[in-house]
Structure 1
Amino acid sequence: MTKRPRRNHTPAFKAKVALAAVKGEKTLAELAQQFDVHPNQITQWRSQLLEGAAGVFGSEAKSEAAGPAIDVKTLHAKIGALALENDFLPGALGKTGLLSAK
């Protein structure tokens, strides 16, 4: 018996299957046979659809579209460290004779 290769389904396909499951016109077994996926997978996609449906109309969708949260303190610390290196290295290398004076 050979194993079936792993399949990656597109988000559009997942949404189509989940919407069909939410409609309830067919049983999970019928949908599984129609779309050639396991009934447990359909149940999982349906629950993900129902959990994320509120975000379509609420502010959650807008916050995700804005991008990831930026840690300003970390960025300021990194800028300070780089500025210190830029100020320190030319002076230290000039004293050791490794940097030619202009």
Structure 2
Amino acid sequence: MKKGRRVFTGAFKAQVAIAALKERETLAELSKRFDLHPQMITKWKQEFVERSSEIFETRAPQESFEAEKERLFSKIGQLEMERDWLKKISKRAGL
């Protein structure tokens, strides 16, 4: 019976690559521990090293989150002021 192709998450690949970079275990031990072919571990390790610079080139999500949060808080303040003004006007008009 044929087994299906396994799909690995990015987090798992990173975990394996980091374990390989630490070099606390041999490639054979890592392949046995993670149930992977040693060539796959080597490939993921190489890709991890090559693409590690991308982490520092992109903007951190926390910075964009803070900017978005500030924009939304200012919008909330503006809408609250408009609502209060409309309440005040409607009272004057007797509505």
TM-score, normalised to structure 2, is: 0.58
Moved over 4 A (4+): none
Residue-pair matches, total: 59
Q: Please name the residue that 2:32 is paired with.
A: 33
By percentage of residues, which structure has more helix? Answer: 2
Q: Please name the residue that 1:15 is paired with.
A: 14
Cα deviation for residue 34 of structure 1 reads 0.1
Which ranges in structure 1 are unaligned for 5 or more consecutive residues? 63-102
Say which SS state the counterpart of residue 6 (structure 1) adopts. Answer: coil
Q: Please name the residue that 2:47 is paired with.
A: 48
Q: CA RMSD in A?
A: 1.2
Residues 18-37 of structure 1: CA distance to partner in whole angstroms, max 9, x if unpaired?
A: 00000000011100000001
Which ranges in structure 2 are unaligned for 5 or more consecutive residues? 60-95
Cα deviation for residue 3 of structure 1 reads 3.6
